[in-house]
Amino acid sequence: MSEILKVRNIGISAHIDSGKTTLTERILFYTGKIHKIEEVKGKSGVGATMDSMDLEREKGITIQSAATYCTWKDFEVNLIDTPGHVDFTVEVERALRVLDGAVLVLCGVAGVQSQSITVDRQMRRYNVPRLAFINKIDRAGSNPDRVAEQLAEKLHHRPLIMTFAMGLEDRFEGVIDLLKMKAVYFDGDNGENIREEEIPAQYVEEAKQRRHKLVETMADYDDVIAEKFLMEEPVTVEELMPVIRRETINLKITPLYVGSAKKNKGIQTLLDAVGYFLPSPSEIKNEGLDQNNNEEKIELLSDSTKPFVGLAFKLEDGRFGQLTYVRVYQGEIKKGDMITNMSNGKRVKVPRLVRMHADQMHDIEEVGPGQIVALFGIDCASGDTFTDGRVNITMTSMFVAEPVIELAVSPKDKSGQVNFSKALNRFTKEDPTFQVYRDEESGETIIKGMGELHLEIYIERIKREYGCEVNVGRPKVAFREAMTQRADFNYTHRKQTGGSGQFARVGGFIEPLPSDAIENYEFVDDIVGGVIPREFIPACDKGFREVIREGSLIGQPVVGVRVTINDGADHPVDSSEMAFKVASISAFREAYMKAKPIILEPIMKLEVSVPEEFQGVCIGQINQRRGVIVGTTMDAGYVVVESDVPLSEMFGYSTDIRSVTQGKGEFSMEFLRYAPVPKNVQEEMVKVYQAKRAEGRN
């Protein structure tokens, strides 16, 4: 048990371009995991250790979360570097689902950006305690105090400043540790030699004030500190540390560190904090669902003597077949063990256990609770739970966002069909937000994803990893349909052929679900007196589920539907499951048009940062695209415009914004919500769809 107290499972998450991968590279260097630092967009072309995919190195972004492990002092750290780009949000979700703590990286200049907010929301969803690291302190315009204020205002954290910078921008020399009240310098070519000195005279007063503030904040959480603070007695490091640790784990405070990953300063103080303040696996409450007891929650204990429970949170196609990343929650697993996949009940043998360092593997014989490990040669899907067969427990799955954009794709040569199918099968298994379906009308293969970049990366991977050139159609938005009011139905399905016929009658109503409903469809069975025999009710549900896949307006899925059946009739000879299913489909179609249906479109949250002189043209462009400006903020010669814009209007925006701002404009975009399209747009879309259908029939 003492070993597990020294384990830290942490993730590094942030807005795109805040320096996550650069920070991870430094952590690996200081912990002795690598012996030479590579830059993310380095001249060597090697790229950062954790960006092991060629595409990641070319684009200078992280696409897949990469796992590694290292040792800092006497702490064992399992580390996951996650993507910042919102198109790969599922990578962040799956990492945070299995981590015990996280480092939220913020840019010292840009501060809290739109995706910092997204990542923070994901951390809250899984109750992940975190430290904040303000990076890029050496850049012109950096202002860590302002970033700390944004952390409080925008993300509602209570930041606890633990280190502050000696000199900003190009005068950044080192940091002052407010716990120890020492100045920390990072000497040597790569900042590897740490030197602690007395605080230079010009910073003494500021350090005292900041230390006073730190103690004042912690006095709110501990009576002993509060008493000493009121009596103006000194508070020791030994008194502060356990309280800071406890309240960080309770998500009450966020210890805040500053530094510059690129200039190799401030990383070791952050690593110390990971050991001091983030929880070990045994300090986090992990729960599974007991399948023997009505899915009741059951606590999993970080105890190697208990039955094994692990969660497969990420799949990768490695050189030797499928690699499955598993977080061990309870018990232990050895090479050669038989384990059970709880989703399908299959028992499989563990042929090989490895610990991953980016794309390198280190074989191990066994692993205990709280660890992250990879298994080879095991067929499963992302999110499956494994046990040793002695318990019937599944882990709760992670949150998966709905895809909002789709593309028609096909292999250029018929000979590439096999590889094309292989690639799509693999990617859908690996990434729950990447979906594939076949359009029955056109016979095309459609891929769906979270954004243009998301799908672009997968198309590029099909070409590179499977040698298959791909034809790509125009991107299309994933519209939805919904109804706005209740409508009744009472439909009788009658068909008389030679022999027995078909008969079924269903009555009831359809209505919109409340806007905060989690599911998109709800079936309510209000049948009394056996007017529809029990055995036919599942067939009605099946019919409704099938019909809402394709609405009557533009053939898109209908969302937010509650169907209630409360009447009906059957025939002793002519009724069947099929008859009730067909009756339900027709009943829904009849009622749907009376329920005043509307078309919904994905609205994106857009954040554009442009130099002040381009503010007018930037806002003009957003207005042209049916955007609604939510707010603008000025900062250091730049203006940040936040707006809500329909995704259908955003194709080609990256080229437009660059051309009107001389290449200086940057933007980030993420899915916000579905909203009704304007009436004139709806009428046009319905007209086009009806014409297309009529054409198809002729």
Residue-wise pLDDT for 470-491, tens only, equals 888 878 888 899 999 999 999 9
8 Å CB contact between 314 and 364: no
Placement of tokens 């430290």 in the chain: 131
pLDDT of res. 481? 92
| Long-range contact pairs involving 331-334 (C-beta distance under 8 Å, separation at least 24) | 331/303, 331/304, 331/305, 331/306, 331/307, 331/369, 331/388, 332/304, 332/308, 332/366, 332/367, 332/368, 332/369, 333/308, 333/366, 333/367, 333/373, 333/388, 334/365, 334/366
8 Å CB contact between 557 and 550: yes
pLDDT of res. 698? 57
pLDDT of res. 224? 92
254 or 32, greater pLDDT:
254
667 or 214, greater pLDDT:
214
Query: 574's torsion region: left (phi>0), alpha (psi -120 to 50) or beta?
Result: alpha
Is pLDDT above 70 for 372?
yes
6-20, 205-219, 406-420 — which one is most confidently predicted on average? 205-219
Average pLDDT, the chain: 84
Is pLDDT above 60 for 449?
yes
pLDDT of res. 252? 93
d(CA 490, CA 326): 51
Is pLDDT above 80 for 104?
yes
Q: What mean pLDDT is predicted for residues 440-465?
A: 82
Is pLDDT above 80 for 373?
yes
9 or 1, greater pLDDT:
9
How far from chain centre, in Å, is Cα 320? 27
Alpha helices in 400-534 (DSSP H): 417-430, 452-466
Q: Which of 310, 284, 257 is nearest to 100 (CA)?
A: 284
Is pLDDT above 90 for 115?
no
Tokens of residue 202, six digits:
């010009």
User: What are the pLDDT digits (tens) for 211-250?
Assistant: 999 999 999 999 999 999 999 899 899 999 999 999 999 9
Is pLDDT above 70 for 139?
yes
pLDDT of res. 59? 53
d(CA 600, CA 591): 19
Is pLDDT above 80 for 172?
yes
Is pLDDT above 60 for 130?
yes
8 Å CB contact between 395 and 388: no
Is pLDDT above 80 for 664?
no
Q: How confident is the model at residue 26 (pLDDT cuts 50, 70, 90)?
A: confident
pLDDT of res. 689? 87
pLDDT of res. 398? 65
Q: What mean pLDDT is predicted for residues 188-194?
A: 85
pLDDT of res. 380? 80
pLDDT of res. 12? 83
Q: What mean pLDDT is predicted for residues 398-410?
A: 79
pLDDT of res. 598? 93
User: What are the pLDDT digits (tens) for 565-594?
Assistant: 999 988 888 888 899 999 999 999 999 999
Is pLDDT above 90 for 402?
no
User: What are the pLDDT digits (tens) for 48-102?
Assistant: 444 445 555 555 554 455 677 888 888 988 887 666 555 666 767 777 778 889 9
Q: How confident is the model at residue 508 (pLDDT cuts 50, 70, 90)?
A: very high
d(CA 140, CA 213): 27
Q: What mean pLDDT is predicted for residues 434-444?
A: 78
User: What are the pLDDT digits (tens) for 319-335?
Assistant: 667 778 888 888 888 88
Q: What mean pLDDT is predicted for residues 97-118?
A: 83
pLDDT of res. 431? 79
pLDDT of res. 51? 46
Is pLDDT above 90 for 563?
yes
Q: How confident is the model at residue 44 (pLDDT cuts 50, 70, 90)?
A: very low
Q: How confident is the model at residue 46 (pLDDT cuts 50, 70, 90)?
A: very low
Instruction: Reduce the secondary structure of 261-329 to three states and give it as a string.
Output: CCCCECHHHHHHHHHHHCCCHHHCCEEEEECCCCCEEEEECCCCCCCCEEEEEEEEEECCEEEEEEEEE
User: What are the pLDDT digits (tens) for 249-289?
Assistant: 999 999 999 998 888 889 999 999 999 999 998 888 888 88
Placement of tokens 């018990």 in the chain: 331
The percentage of the chain sitting over the pLDDT mark of 70, rounded to a whole number, equals 89
The CB-side HSE value for 271 (13 A sphere, CA atoms) comes to: 27
Is pLDDT above 90 for 450?
no
8 Å CB contact between 323 and 365: no
